[in-house]
Structure 1
């Protein structure tokens, strides 16, 4: 009987009973502390289940409040009961009701037998290393914290701020060298007895009673005064997220926990039946002599913490919807936006699909509804072509489409008459390649059967929208790759312009742009612009057509 356990329990009593019986079945005595906030009826029912078991005892109860001295007091009374009741115990292992052994108990006992004078406790000085993930470090020891952080947060914060302004600095007892570390330790009887029977214990306990979260500093600091040999690490696997909250282990963490080679893990979800059935099996073989090495799985948790902190690029959901500027990439994949090309060229979408591959959509933000590739009504991610649903949040319509199709590059057409709210979003997106021919919308308008009065009104509306779109795309905040020409500039050298676009999208290659889809007939287009000008509507976004040939394909 070289190892005993102290268990701090406040919930999930069925699981705590399983673990306690598992330890006792291996010959290890257990002293259980049940939180004083638990009702007497529940406590007595739990205690009576162990009637007649000589290796399981209960300690005096303390009402425990997180972050306060009460948690240390509960640990003290349970540890004292264990040391008094079981004099043969050489090491005391502190655990919670949500802890679970990962390796057979004989392996842990053999490991401690090989290190009889070693105290396993994480103990990090506040002066030389940063231990906490979020919260106070040195000020834990120099200020007073008489108020509960959880129940009286405003009073806690105000009292802390007042002490800072007044320059309050508590005197640290000479016997205390402030250290921090995990609450879950395994200490020798000799060290624990020295701490609990120290002549200045009353003074030290009074000091730590006003330290913030003393369960992370009381034993971690005092062990430095009495231990023969310290290994500054815990034998319990516990991982924390970016907010300092413990990760909870579920059934799908089974292989991860086995790979760690740690002796105990917390926190285990009470409903993780697969974990409890596997690790508490009576016939679990003892075949490993490996050192506990939580570093084997650190990479997994680092990735998880990083993903929780910054998310995955382009993924938005109810659990993570960051403010503008705090995204980890506002979209999930590269994509292309062409504006004006389908107005200038017949069959441009089909030609582009053959050239670059991927999915080439029509006008996704058409006022009458999204024009998905293949004339689909519902696209990947259950995105509907309904314009009302799309325009409720047009930016999220686009991010959802790109997330659902991130393995395949997407391309779509845009028109100045389409939903304008999405332009600023696309302009800010480094994943976007935007190719714009301003004024190209005037070509199909010129070839339409509308009366001239209707043409003039529509031209005035689209020119205003085109100018606003161009101003947004050329603003200082634009991060997209932008290719921009007026209609006159583009039709003067269409192959050269298109060659630059293809180089940007597909990269350099042996294929040259030698064929273009047929350009719409521009015969009479300069005269159309002149007519608009003479009628009082000055066309400016198309560029200067006075030196541009009026032929079909330019050169």
Structure 2
């Protein structure tokens, strides 16, 4: 009655392997188990004892198996020979692992194969058609020799590959063989498999593939092309791999995905996924229709998971995935605005801007004393503290956390040469940052202060040096921020137009025209103040061409226009 037999390669989670083997055996499907020689004697004897009541289960000669080596092919050869010798009624042999999980009733698989008696299901494509290999060895796996284990002797493996490349060594491929690659989980007809194992040239083939890298992905895939009358280059086993070439593990919460795939077997299931095993191996698991296996149905989900793992979400940094510098999928998650010099030039600029934008506006978030959150809060969204020491331990993550914690609300804050300058590079390289700078505006508070002039001169020199460094960084070719820079003299020539351009960039072209303006600080005598700095040996140049006489504000002409009030 049986038309399909299963060859199982087992090395771990033997209780689950026994459960799956019994499931197939009780459905009149012979099973031959290869048990890795590295499995201890007690575990081996327990597996045999658990399955001794199943008359159609056999155990093959054991090999010490290791990933990427010939031992896996040898194990499948030995077990397949037992299957062919002891179960003559088997027409298809299905290779599986101990972590494989049947997804559909055996009767459906049996009927599916019975309708395709001459078809071999084995993914088999030439090296030119392969785009999934990881590690840079595609055609070279057939051209070079690989006597060293990639896992145990990585240094020898790499050095020997380099040596062969350097001397131009190339192996001779046996006659009539065209190297193919594909999934190692196949389902072959008895005729094809027996032809492979009984081939007079088998010794030549085996000797060649023993030095091929990962031969279990190429041995059957290549030689089957010599004998198969009909190959469908696909596997009936659902197996997904991540960007590193490691297999995805299926858990209980993948139940609906596995059902949607309509595949007959899935690899590999987590041994503790009780719900999966109870569902698919349970007596009540029956499918109502003969659907064609379609792993592509769930490819979109895995592609999305791969994108999340490799690219992440913009602006999200977390312990389980902390991206490398400059390889982030966006430094921050949303647009934000930085104003430098505006709260120095204008009185009550923050309340005015908050009313204009309809959102909260922060003060200097990187003030040396503390973070000046909107409303002078001590704790802000996401339990961000205003404490300078905690913020300055990692100012970049402080800012990204603030933007992430307030998604949906544009963050606006002030910046100054007086602040912690470590964040400058981050701001300039963030494409979400909109930075507006009035250079030299930091001198206005100094001018209005009641301090000794010698102290003012020293601080002015320091402020100008910091601002020049920041502006140079903003003008660097690597800057990604949206940057607008005016000198103080340039800005006060047309303050309303300049403010409007900033707000238009924030609100878009449909932004309404300004109907009120912030009050500008009193600049009477400011030009003479700058001249005094020059006379004392400090040359202030970032303010622009500022006259030594009183500043006359640009007056708009024609019709009612918004205006600035000068104190």
Q: Is TM > 0.5 for Structure 1 vs Structure 2? A: yes
Please identify, of 336-345 and 167-176, the stretch whose mean Cα deviation from structure 2 is larger: 167-176
Distance 2:498 2:566 in 1: 12
Distance 1:376 1:267 in 2: 51
Aligned to 2:486: 485
Please identify, of 370-379 and 61-70, the stretch whose mean Cα deviation from structure 2 is larger: 370-379
Please identify, of 62-71 and 172-181, the stretch whose mean Cα deviation from structure 2 is larger: 172-181
**Displacement, 1:401?**
2.1
Aligned to 2:184: 183
Compared CA separation, residues 453 and 168, structure 1 to 2 (3 A): closer
Compared CA separation, residues 392 and 122, structure 1 to 2 (3 A): same
**Displacement, 1:453?**
3.4
Aligned to 2:557: none
The C-alpha deviation readout for 1:254-287, integer Å capped at 9, x for no partner, is 2222111111111212222222222222101221
**Displacement, 1:181?**
0.3
Q: How does 1:58-457 map to 2 (within 5 A)?
A: 58-457=59-458
Compared CA separation, residues 374 and 4, structure 1 to 2 (3 A): farther
Compared CA separation, residues 129 and 192, structure 1 to 2 (3 A): same
The C-alpha deviation readout for 1:137-163, integer Å capped at 9, x for no partner, is 212222211111111111111112222
Q: Is residue 17 from structure 1 mapped to residue 18 from structure 2 by the alignment?
A: yes
Please identify, of 151-160 and 314-323, the stretch whose mean Cα deviation from structure 2 is larger: 314-323
Aligned to 1:521: 522
Distance 1:322 1:286 in 2: 44
The C-alpha deviation readout for 1:318-369, integer Å capped at 9, x for no partner, is 4444443323222222111111111122222222223234442211111012
The C-alpha deviation readout for 1:493-515, integer Å capped at 9, x for no partner, is 11100111011111111510131
The C-alpha deviation readout for 1:219-248, integer Å capped at 9, x for no partner, is 101111111211000011111111111111
Distance 2:29 2:551 in 1: 95
**Displacement, 1:554?**
6.2
Distance 2:480 2:327 in 1: 15
The C-alpha deviation readout for 1:165-210, integer Å capped at 9, x for no partner, is 2222222112422110000011111111111111111121111111
Distance 1:55 1:312 in 2: 52
Aligned to 1:32: 33
Distance 1:282 1:236 in 2: 22
Distance 1:210 1:180 in 2: 15
Secondary structure of the structure 1 residue equivalent to 2:347: coil
Answer yes or no: is the 8 Å Cα contact 1:122–1:182 preserved in 2: yes
The C-alpha deviation readout for 1:276-318, integer Å capped at 9, x for no partner, is 2222221012213221111111122222223323333223334
Answer yes or no: is the 8 Å Cα contact 1:3–1:29 preserved in 2: yes
Answer yes or no: is the 8 Å Cα contact 1:491–1:553 preserved in 2: no
Compared CA separation, residues 261 and 525, structure 1 to 2 (3 A): same
Please identify, of 531-540 and 482-491, the stretch whose mean Cα deviation from structure 2 is larger: 531-540
Please identify, of 297-306 and 92-101, the stretch whose mean Cα deviation from structure 2 is larger: 297-306
Secondary structure of the structure 2 residue equivalent to 1:223: helix
Distance 1:358 1:72 in 2: 66
Please identify, of 67-76 and 250-259, the stretch whose mean Cα deviation from structure 2 is larger: 250-259
Aligned to 2:476: 475
The C-alpha deviation readout for 1:73-126, integer Å capped at 9, x for no partner, is 001111111222222111111111111112222221221111111110000011
**Displacement, 1:218?**
0.6
Distance 2:460 2:494 in 1: 25
Distance 1:403 1:158 in 2: 46
TM score, norm. by length of structure 2: 0.93
Answer yes or no: is the 8 Å Cα contact 1:33–1:74 preserved in 2: yes
Please identify, of 126-135 and 484-493, the stretch whose mean Cα deviation from structure 2 is larger: 126-135
Q: Which runs of 5+ in 2 are unaligned?
A: 554-563
**Displacement, 1:447?**
2.2
Answer yes or no: is the 8 Å Cα contact 1:60–1:77 preserved in 2: yes
Q: Which runs of 5+ in 1 are unaligned?
A: none
**Displacement, 1:436?**
0.6
Please identify, of 445-454 and 412-421, the stretch whose mean Cα deviation from structure 2 is larger: 445-454
Aligned pairs, number: 555
Secondary structure of the structure 1 residue equivalent to 2:279: helix
Aligned to 1:537: 538
Aligned to 1:50: 51
Please identify, of 541-550 and 486-495, the stretch whose mean Cα deviation from structure 2 is larger: 541-550
Secondary structure of the structure 2 residue equivalent to 1:151: coil
Answer yes or no: is the 8 Å Cα contact 2:522–2:566 preserved in 1: no
Distance 1:10 1:373 in 2: 61
**Displacement, 1:128?**
4.2
Please identify, of 21-30 and 303-312, the stretch whose mean Cα deviation from structure 2 is larger: 303-312
**Displacement, 1:131?**
4.4
Compared CA separation, residues 114 and 357, structure 1 to 2 (3 A): farther
**Displacement, 1:457?**
2.9
Aligned to 2:558: none
